[in-house]
Amino acid sequence: MYKVDLNSDLGESFGAYTIGMDAEILKFVSSANVACGYHAGDPLVMEDTVRLAKEAGVAVGAHPGFPDLMGFGRRNMVCTPREAKAYVKYQLGALTAFTKACGLPLQHVKAHGALYNMAAKDMALAAAIAEAIAEVDDRIILLGLANSLMIKAGKEAGLRVASEVFADRGYQADGSLVPRKNPGAIIHDTDEAIARTIRMVKEGCVTAVTGETVPLSADSICVHGDNPSALAFVKNIRARLQAEGVEIVPLSGIV
Amino acid sequence: MYKVDLNSDLGESFGAYTIGMDAEILKFVSSANVACGYHAGDPLVMEDTVRLAKEAGVAVGAHPGFPDLMGFGRRNMVCTPREAKAYVKYQLGALTAFTKACGLPLQHVKAHGALYNMAAKDMALAAAIAEAIAEVDDRIILLGLANSLMIKAGKEAGLRVASEVFADRGYQADGSLVPRKNPGAIIHDTDEAIARTIRMVKEGCVTAVTGETVPLSADSICVHGDNPSALAFVKNIRARLQAEGVEIVPLSGIV
Amino acid sequence: MYKVDLNSDLGESFGAYTIGMDAEILKFVSSANVACGYHAGDPLVMEDTVRLAKEAGVAVGAHPGFPDLMGFGRRNMVCTPREAKAYVKYQLGALTAFTKACGLPLQHVKAHGALYNMAAKDMALAAAIAEAIAEVDDRIILLGLANSLMIKAGKEAGLRVASEVFADRGYQADGSLVPRKNPGAIIHDTDEAIARTIRMVKEGCVTAVTGETVPLSADSICVHGDNPSALAFVKNIRARLQAEGVEIVPLSGIV
Amino acid sequence: MYKVDLNSDLGESFGAYTIGMDAEILKFVSSANVACGYHAGDPLVMEDTVRLAKEAGVAVGAHPGFPDLMGFGRRNMVCTPREAKAYVKYQLGALTAFTKACGLPLQHVKAHGALYNMAAKDMALAAAIAEAIAEVDDRIILLGLANSLMIKAGKEAGLRVASEVFADRGYQADGSLVPRKNPGAIIHDTDEAIARTIRMVKEGCVTAVTGETVPLSADSICVHGDNPSALAFVKNIRARLQAEGVEIVPLSGIV
């Protein structure tokens, strides 16, 4: 029996500002990455998002990012591993108050935006994130980019790790993502994207932009719910995965 | 055997900014109220403060405040009980990540500044704070102003509550503090302040500014460590209490 | 010839967060109140909003608020007149950099949200705002609630003042707004709202909720553009005013 | 007659947090770089600092930084030239409100911390900063690292530029600073530092760490006032410069 998790970034609204169609996307995913107030989210939004996730039967994880609300955590910042470690602890702790109050465990942590991308390629940063989690609660799963240093760091820290793949992104021969500015970075054809994803889940590999077959763990697929067409894609990929005999389950049922 | 807790607000530094003589005051208090990043404190400061407290054998509590770094949480803000509740959860959760990583329990929560003062007189706000704590972890002690609505709210929420008194503040006949702008608000004479405190601890009462004897639980005495003379006062009151046979113990040993 | 200004709050987006239909509403108003980064807005949004206003021939004013992004500046905060004064200077100065770079004058200042409401009834706060403006540039118009202390404070500070009225709000016999929680606070009928507004502009009075005829300067009408029905109302009231022979002009053409 | 400016970073306090000995250092410098609320400073601090500078006869400039209070603007952030340009406009505008209210011109702009260091080596960022200034008010002087791209960008934007040198830093053969982690980065001997500075001012050159004589404009010397020994150094270098016949004057008297 094949299994995969569908994860989405949620709880990104802030104060009077709304982003995302959280209530809708929660019907289709199995794990929610909830923003923790640094790059997005605020305490009321976190509380609401955790409750909505619980009602939808979706597992909750923390989505810590850089302290850069103005840049939505998407801008690289030079911070020390010690800073990154403390930022991750702070944010996962903050979210844990809401999950505990709802009677939910904190299933996982997935770094957000620039922190995610930087840590994928920077072992000191990746280790800082993994150790932050391990020091607070080593039952929490680390969700990171497949084949990246985040996965390596998570294992070294003694954590259960889950590998994330992207349906609509091209991969390089070394298993890394094709940078967004390069040709082949985005798979524009929906059917092709879904077919590639099904192969990743069932066969554990993907065809690189240069033609090689690259091994890839696909524990979780990242999907978006910030606009109607993204939502339609999620429904589509979910249905196609299920039609292929792939069960959609939270990370805790996989790793 | 008489017992009392000495508590102090710590971890109020932020980024490049330093406030307080935390390492010094930790030698003399039994409980630390650690700022949680809203009115003061940041993740690195929280981590350092929790570790210092552990090394000093001082129990750690959260000191949540309004999201007003520019005003140090000292300015009244109109926020809904729902907002206050979520702010308290967020902040106590964030600190808990650091206490867990250090192997410490979160002993207590004490609201900071304007939130503390407003909640002492506003039952909806007091209840919001107490319920925030109870929903996350009902083993946490609520430390609030003696005779205030915070104490009432904590009991109603099923929490252990601890009553805080001030050595250098005048009290009114109803057990509330004399407002700072009124005559008798501050006890300027150190010996008188200490004598009053010893009486609060041993006899459970204080003489009001209008002459009445007012009953008062004195579980914990608030002391400051932000300047050398404050620090000298703490050493002094600690020694005098001990000389009177009063043991200095953390809140968890009292309530 | 009758003249009135139509003003709207613009530039309230922040980072990745969008609020308002600024490009649309700019087609119908004559003055824009641009958020300055404290309760809403950021430097990129300010730059874009000023440029859009210029292209639309709409006059630009600053819309300073409390430093409370999480509460969108809608929550009362206790701050000293000195703090309020400095906050207003800071924010109007920040916006002036963008208007100067665009070759526009800063036409006016209108306080936002809780700051606006508090200052309408608090002379010390109102004076602080008016003096902030006067000290920086006494050619700037102060736009405040008709019949409020803001108008009085602006005159005392030697500023040109403009009185703002609301099409859809009930008024009390003393010229103040009916509080939102009271009966008669909101005029739900669009035609009645517009008829009342036309009377305010042409006759300088309004019928209070208790029946009295109340004198009222109507230099500017506050309109909203944050949803399609609000936008439809603006088109409607603008057309009706023009059909009644009322010219829509920026504040600088009125006071 | 030789002339040089002594500049120092001031107004870096924030809310309840104090940094720097501003009142002391103002007795010895000729130009103040005032923080503008992004990496340090707040409106009250800005107001006080501008007033203190005026009373001391010290010229005032803006010291814009990255929006990173937690990192004091010292951490590199990846931001677009458009973002940097808008951030500089915002901050210099905000400060201008306070200088205008005090009857002072805004003499100069000097980027802070990571923004200063990044712009010294990144022409797009340097141009963004220079253009921000030029678009708001081309009478403002740009103060940047001697021999860096900031100076080039300022000239290209049509601004008057002033070159900043450091008394206690080593220089490389290309006129850039020796990186802090490299040998020779810091001149530890006070007399040597002062002698080098006098030579920079009088002869327009400095001996590089590799022995070459490097030409260098020395319009302004950066000095610090955040601790007593820094303050003593400033008194010392000021007296020595004056003894050598070098007049200490604000930037506007030099470029």
**Amino acid A135: pLDDT:** 98
Q: Å from B18 to nearest chain D CA?
A: 7
**Amino acid A226: pLDDT:** 84
Closest CA to B209 of B167, B169, B176, B172: B172
> Contacts of residue A37 in chain B, CB cutoff 8 Å?
90
Residue in chain C closest to D79 (alpha carbons) equals C44
> Contacts of residue A70 in chain D, CB cutoff 8 Å?
67
Q: How far is CA A243 from CA A165, A225, A236, in A?
A: 20, 22, 10
Q: Using CA atoms, how far apart are residues C233 and C212, in angstroms rounded to an integer? A: 27
What sign has the CA pseudo-torsion D224, D229, D235, D240? negative
Interface touch D93/C89, C-beta < 8 Å = no
Q: In a mutagenesis test of the C interface, which of D36, D51, D90, D98 is the best target, namely the one with the most C β-carbons within 10 Å?
A: D90
User: Which strand (E) or helix (H) includes residue C131?
Assistant: helix C123-136
Q: How far is CA C46 from CA A56, C20, C43, C217, D204, in A?
A: 39, 14, 5, 30, 42
What sign has the CA pseudo-torsion C233, C239, C244, C250? positive
- Residue B226 pLDDT greater than 90, yes or no: no
Q: Using CA atoms, how far apart are residues A27 and A58, in angstroms rounded to an integer? A: 8
- Residue A106 pLDDT greater than 90, yes or no: yes
- List, for residues C143-201, the tens digit of each pLDDT value: 999 999 999 999 999 999 999 999 999 999 999 999 989 999 999 999 999 999 999 99
> Contacts of residue A100 in chain B, CB cutoff 8 Å?
93, 135-137
- Residue D140 pLDDT greater than 90, yes or no: yes
> Contacts of residue D37 in chain C, CB cutoff 8 Å?
90
Closest CA to B251 of B52, B96, B109, B102: B109
Q: How far is CA D94 from CA B118, B163, C141, D102, in A?
A: 33, 45, 19, 13
**Mean pLDDT, rounded, for B197-213:** 96
Nearest CB neighbour to C44, from listed D44, D82, D137? D82
On whether any CB of chain B is under 8 Å from the CB of D14, the answer is yes
**Amino acid A249: pLDDT:** 98
- List, for residues B5-25, the tens digit of each pLDDT value: 999 999 999 999 999 999 999
On whether any CB of chain C is under 8 Å from the CB of A72, the answer is yes
Residue A179 CB neighbours (<10 A) = 10
On whether any CB of chain C is under 8 Å from the CB of D80, the answer is no
Q: In a mutagenesis test of the D interface, which of C47, C54, C85, C90 is the best target, namely the one with the most D β-carbons within 10 Å?
A: C90
Q: Using CA atoms, how far apart are residues D255 and D240, in angstroms rounded to an integer? A: 22
Q: How far is CA B70 from CA A163, A220, C85, in A?
A: 41, 42, 15
Q: Å from C56 to nearest chain D CA?
A: 21
> Contacts of residue D94 in chain C, CB cutoff 8 Å?
90-91, 93-94, 97
DSSP code per residue over chain D? -EEEEEEEEE---BTTB--S-HHHHTTT-SEEEEE-SSSS--HHHHHHHHHHHHHHT-EEEEE---S-TTTTT-S-B---HHHHHHHHHHHHHHHHHHHHHTT----EE---HHHHHHHHH-HHHHHHHHHHHHHH-TTSEEEEETTSHHHHHHHHTT--EEEEEETTB-B-TTSPBPPTTSTTSB---HHHHHHHHHHHHHHSEEE-TTS-EEE---SEEEE--SSHHHHHHHHHHHHHHHHTTEEE--GGGT-
Q: Å from C65 to nearest chain B CA?
A: 14
Q: Å from D135 to nearest chain C CA?
A: 5
On whether any CB of chain A is under 8 Å from the CB of D72, the answer is no
What sign has the CA pseudo-torsion A15, A16, A20, A21? positive
- Residue D49 pLDDT greater than 90, yes or no: yes
Residues of chain A above pLDDT 90, percent = 97
**Amino acid C38: pLDDT:** 98
Give the CA count within 13 Å in the CB-facing half-sphere of B148.
Answer: 29
Q: Å from D128 to nearest chain C CA?
A: 13
Interface touch A98/B93, C-beta < 8 Å = yes
- Residue B1 pLDDT greater than 90, yes or no: no
> Contacts of residue A79 in chain D, CB cutoff 8 Å?
71, 75
On whether any CB of chain A is under 8 Å from the CB of D82, the answer is no
User: Which strand (E) or helix (H) includes residue B5?
Assistant: strand B2-10
- Give the tokens for residue B48: 């350092």
Residue pair D231/D21 in contact (Cβ under 8 Å)? The answer is yes
Residue pair C62/C89 in contact (Cβ under 8 Å)? The answer is no
Interface touch C98/D89, C-beta < 8 Å = yes
What sign has the CA pseudo-torsion C61, C64, C70, C76? negative
- Give the tokens for residue C166: 């609301």
Q: How far is CA C219 from CA C64, C108, C118, C144, C155, in A?
A: 20, 13, 21, 10, 15
Residue pair C148/C174 in contact (Cβ under 8 Å)? The answer is no
Q: Using CA atoms, how far apart are residues B63 and B9, in angstroms rounded to an integer? A: 8
On whether any CB of chain C is under 8 Å from the CB of A123, the answer is no
Listed as ranges, residues in chain C with pLDDT below 70 are none
Closest CA to C108 of C161, C176, C187, C152: C161
Residue in chain D closest to C81 (alpha carbons) equals D44
Judged by phi (left if over 0) then psi (alpha if -120 to 50, else beta), residue B254 lies in alpha
Q: In a mutagenesis test of the C interface, which of A13, A70, A75, A227 is the best target, namely the one with the most C β-carbons within 10 Å?
A: A70
Interface C-D, measured as beta-carbon pairs within 8 A, has a size of 77
**Mean pLDDT, rounded, for D192-206:** 96
Closest CA to A71 of D86, D35, C101, C90: D86
DSSP code per residue over B165-206? EETTB-B-TTSPBPPTTSTTSB---HHHHHHHHHHHHHHSEE
- Residue A129 pLDDT greater than 90, yes or no: yes
Nearest CB neighbour to A75, from listed D70, D79, D114? D79
- Residue B225 pLDDT greater than 90, yes or no: no
Q: Å from B77 to nearest chain C CA?
A: 4
Q: Using CA atoms, how far apart are residues C246 and C191, in angstroms rounded to an integer? A: 17
**Amino acid A3: pLDDT:** 97
- List, for residues B77-111, the tens digit of each pLDDT value: 999 999 999 999 999 999 999 999 999 999 999 99
Chain B residues 168-207 with a CB less than 8 Å from chain D: none
> Contacts of residue A19 in chain C, CB cutoff 8 Å?
16-17
Interface A-D, measured as beta-carbon pairs within 8 A, has a size of 29
Q: Å from A72 to nearest chain B CA?
A: 19
Nearest CB neighbour to B72, from listed D16, D69, D74? D16
> Contacts of residue C93 in chain D, CB cutoff 8 Å?
93-98, 100
Long-range contacts of D116-122 (CB under 8 A, 24+ apart): D116/D144, D116/D145, D116/D150, D117/D76, D118/D76, D119/D84, D119/D144, D119/D148, D119/D149, D119/D150, D119/D153, D120/D144, D120/D145, D120/D148, D120/D149, D120/D150, D120/D176, D121/D148, D121/D149, D122/D149
Q: Which residue's structure tokens are 């390069």?
A: A182
Q: Using CA atoms, how far apart are residues A45 and A14, in angstroms rounded to an integer? A: 7
Interface touch A76/D77, C-beta < 8 Å = yes
On whether any CB of chain A is under 8 Å from the CB of D76, the answer is yes
**Mean pLDDT, rounded, for D4-11:** 98
Q: Using CA atoms, how far apart are residues A92 and A111, in angstroms rounded to an integer? A: 10
Interface touch B96/A95, C-beta < 8 Å = no
**Amino acid D210: pLDDT:** 96
> Contacts of residue D83 in chain A, CB cutoff 8 Å?
71
pLDDT band at D2 (very low <50, low <70, confident <90, very high): very high
Residue in chain A closest to C42 (alpha carbons) equals A70
B149 three-state secondary structure: helix
Nearest CB neighbour to C97, from listed D42, D89, D98? D89
> Contacts of residue C42 in chain D, CB cutoff 8 Å?
86
Pairing of strands D2-10, D246-248: parallel
Q: Å from B206 to nearest chain D CA?
A: 32
| Phi/psi of residue D207, nearest 5 degrees | -85, 125
Residue pair A5/A249 in contact (Cβ under 8 Å)? The answer is yes
- List, for residues A172-198, the tens digit of each pLDDT value: 999 999 998 999 999 999 999 999 999
Residue A11 CB neighbours (<10 A) = 30
Residue in chain B closest to D72 (alpha carbons) equals B16
Residue B179 CB neighbours (<10 A) = 10
> Contacts of residue C45 in chain A, CB cutoff 8 Å?
none
On whether any CB of chain B is under 8 Å from the CB of C71, the answer is yes
Q: How far is CA A215 from CA A5, A171, A206, B248, in A?
A: 18, 11, 7, 62
- Residue D1 pLDDT greater than 90, yes or no: no
Residue pair D80/D87 in contact (Cβ under 8 Å)? The answer is no
Q: Å from D211 to nearest chain C CA?
A: 45
- Give the tokens for residue A112: 């957000």
User: Which strand (E) or helix (H) includes residue B150?
Assistant: helix B149-156
- Give the tokens for residue C217: 């300067």
**Mean pLDDT, rounded, for D21-50:** 98
Q: Using CA atoms, how far apart are residues D10 and D32, in angstroms rounded to an integer? A: 6
DSSP code per residue over C16-82? TB--S-HHHHTTT-SEEEEE-SSSS--HHHHHHHHHHHHHTT-EEEEE---S-TTTTT-S-B---HH
Interface touch B70/C71, C-beta < 8 Å = no
User: Which strand (E) or helix (H) includes residue C223?
Assistant: strand C220-223
Q: Using CA atoms, how far apart are residues A71 and A114, in angstroms rounded to an integer? A: 10
The set of chains that have 3 or more CB pairs under 8 A with C is A, B, D
Judged by phi (left if over 0) then psi (alpha if -120 to 50, else beta), residue A191 lies in alpha
Residue in chain C closest to A20 (alpha carbons) equals C17
Q: Using CA atoms, how far apart are residues B129 and B136, in angstroms rounded to an integer? A: 11
- Residue A125 pLDDT greater than 90, yes or no: yes
Q: Å from A39 to nearest chain C CA?
A: 10
C6 three-state secondary structure: strand
Residue B56 CB neighbours (<10 A) = 16
The set of chains that have 3 or more CB pairs under 8 A with D is A, B, C
User: Which strand (E) or helix (H) includes residue B99?
Assistant: helix B81-101
Report the greatest alpha carbon distance in chain C.
Answer: 49
Q: Å from C70 to nearest chain B CA?
A: 8
pLDDT band at D226 (very low <50, low <70, confident <90, very high): confident
- Give the tokens for residue D118: 């990044």
**Mean pLDDT, rounded, for B123-135:** 98
